[in-house]
C-alpha cells in the first residue's frame, strides 16, 4: 500500500482497495496501521473519498532521520542536475517521493544549503530549479494536467496548458515531453525556459507518444542538435552503430564513410565535447570546434603526469 501511495498523489478508496485486492474495511484497517507507524496518510470522506500520502511533522520512521533526509535531498538534486551521468531520471523520481513527505522545516534547510554551495567542475548547462523538477515529475506521475509559462528560443513568452508525460535528461538539459492542449500536438519543452509550473488537479488518460519512447521523441524534435554557444564536429574512426550506445541521445552521429562517422555536438564547454569524443573510445580527428584542441592538450599533459607518478615504485 505504501508503494502505491508514493506513486500517486491521490487514490480513490475503491480503486485502492481493488488494486490491493482487499475489502474497504481491510483497507481502512491497513491505513490505520500505517498511521500508527508514523506515515502521514490523509483520508477524504464522501463519494469522491480516498487516501493520499501527505507531508507530516516528521519523515516516516525506519527510513531516514532528519540529517539523512537533508543529505539525501541535496544529493538527489545534484544527481538530477546531471552531476552523475545516467541516473538523472531515477534521481528526480526519488526526489519527488522524498519532497512529498518532507516537513517544511527540512525543506527550508535544504534550500539554505543549496543556495550556500557551489559545485565545482566543468561548465554546467542551464540550471533548473528543483521545485520545477519535482512539480513536473509529480504531475507526470499522477497524470495531472499542468499549466506553466514558457519562453521560446526567439524570446516569445506564452502560457501553456499541457498533459505532461515524461521528463527526459539529454546531455546537460532537462526536457518535458507533453501533449499541448492548445496546439493539439506533442511538444518537448526545455525546463530552463519553463516558469511557474502549477498542477491543476485535472486528471487525464495517457495518450501514446508518437515515437518509440520519450527519449526518441526529444531526439527527433531536436533534429540531432542541442543548442549551445559552440558547435563541435569530430570525425570518429568507427561506425555510428558501434559507438551510438556509448554516447547516448545527446550527440548526433552521421555516417560519412565505411567504418567512420561524424559526431556533432553543441556544448557550453569544450571540456564536454572532449569528454564526448574520448568516451567513444576510438581514434578521432577534430573537424571544427573552438577550444577543443587546447582542452585535449591539457588533458594529455595531466594524463602523462599522472602516469609518471603512478609508474614510480
More confident residue, 80 or 195: 195
Residues 34 and 78 in one domain: no
Residue 116 pLDDT > 50: no
Residue 213 located in a structural domain: yes
What torsion do the CA atoms of 125, 126, 130, 133 make, to the nearest 10 degrees? -90
Kindly report, residue by residue over 254-264, the tens digit of the pLDDT.
888 878 999 88
Q: Counting beta carbons within 10 angstroms of the beta carbon of residue 90, is it exposed (0 to 12), middle (13 to 18) or buried (19 or more)? A: middle
The conformational region for residue 53 under phi > 0 = left, psi -120 to 50 = alpha, else beta, is beta
Length of the chain counted residue by residue: 313
Mean of pLDDT over the chain: 77
The owner of cell 483497507 is 27
Whether pLDDT at 147 is above 50: yes
159 and 78 in a common domain: no
Assigned domain for 103 exists: yes
CATH code at 267?
3.30.70
Closest residue by Cα to residue 75 from 90, 58, 61:
90
State pLDDT tens for residues 55-66: 664 445 545 566
Please give the sequence-ordered ranges of beta strands (E in DSSP) within 103-244, or none if there are none. 144-151, 157-170, 173-180, 185-190, 194-203, 230-236
What is the extent of the structural domain holding 293?
230-309
Question: Quick check: is 124 in a domain?
Answer: no
Distance of CA 200 to the CA centre of its chain: 21
Summarised one tens digit per residue, pLDDT across range 213-251 is 888 788 777 754 444 567 889 999 988 888 877 776 556
pTM of the model: 0.46
Structural domain total, the chain: 4
If one counts every other C-beta atom within 10 angstroms of the C-beta of residue 250, the result is 21
Amino acid at each position: 500500500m505504501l508503494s502505491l501511495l508514493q506513486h500517486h498523489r491521490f487514490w480513490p478508496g475503491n480503486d485502492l482497495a481493488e488494486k490491493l485486492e482487499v475489502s474497504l474495511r481491510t483497507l481502512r484497517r491497513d491505513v490505520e496501521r500505517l498511521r500508527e507507524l508514523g506515515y502521514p496518510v490523509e483520508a477524504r470522506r464522501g463519494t469522491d473519498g480516498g487516501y493520499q500520502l501527505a507531508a507530516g511533522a516528521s519523515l516516516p520512521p525506519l527510513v531516514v532521520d532528519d540529517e539523512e533526509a537533508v543529505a539525501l535531498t541535496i544529493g538527489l538534486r545534484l544527481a538530477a542536475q546531471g552531476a552523475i551521468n545516467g541516473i538523472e531520471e531515477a534521481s528526480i523520481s526519488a526526489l519527488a517521493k522524498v519532497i512529498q513527505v518532507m516537513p517544511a522545516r527540512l525543506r527550508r534547510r535544504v534550500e539554505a544549503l543549496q543556495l550556500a554551495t557551489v559545485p565545482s567542475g566543468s561548465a554546467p548547462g542551464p540550471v533548473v530549479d528543483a521545485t520545477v523538477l519535482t512539480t513536473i515529475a509529480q504531475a507526470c506521475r499522477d497524470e495531472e494536467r499542468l499549466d506553466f509559462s514558457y519562453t521560446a528560443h526567439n524570446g516569445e513568452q506564452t502560457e501553456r496548458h499541457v498533459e505532461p508525460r515524461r521528463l527526459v535528461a539529454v546531455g546537460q538539459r532537462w526536457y518535458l515531453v507533453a501533449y499541448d492542449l492548445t496546439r493539439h500536438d506533442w511538444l518537448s519543452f526545455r525546463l530552463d525556459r519553463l516558469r511557474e509550473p502549477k498542477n491543476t488537479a485535472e486528471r487525464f488518460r495517457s495518450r501514446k507518444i508518437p515515437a518509440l519512447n520519450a527519449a526518441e521523441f526529444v531526439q527527433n524534435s531536436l533534429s540531432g542538435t542541442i543548442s549551445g554557444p559552440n558547435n563541435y564536429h569530430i570525425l570518429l574512426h568507427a561506425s555510428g552503430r558501434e559507438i551510438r550506445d556509448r554516447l547516448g541521445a545527446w550527440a548526433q552521429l552521421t555516417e560519412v564513410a565505411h567504418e567512420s562517422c561524424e559526431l556533432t555536438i553543441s556544448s557550453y564547454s569544450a571540456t564536454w565535447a572532449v569528454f564526448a569524443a574520448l568516451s567513444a573510445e576510438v581514434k578521432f580527428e577534430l573537424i571544427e570546434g573552438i577550444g577543443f584542441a587546447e582542452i585535449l592538450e591539457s588533458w594529455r599533459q595531466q594524463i602523462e603526469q599522472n602516469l609518471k607518478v603512478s609508474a614510480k615504485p
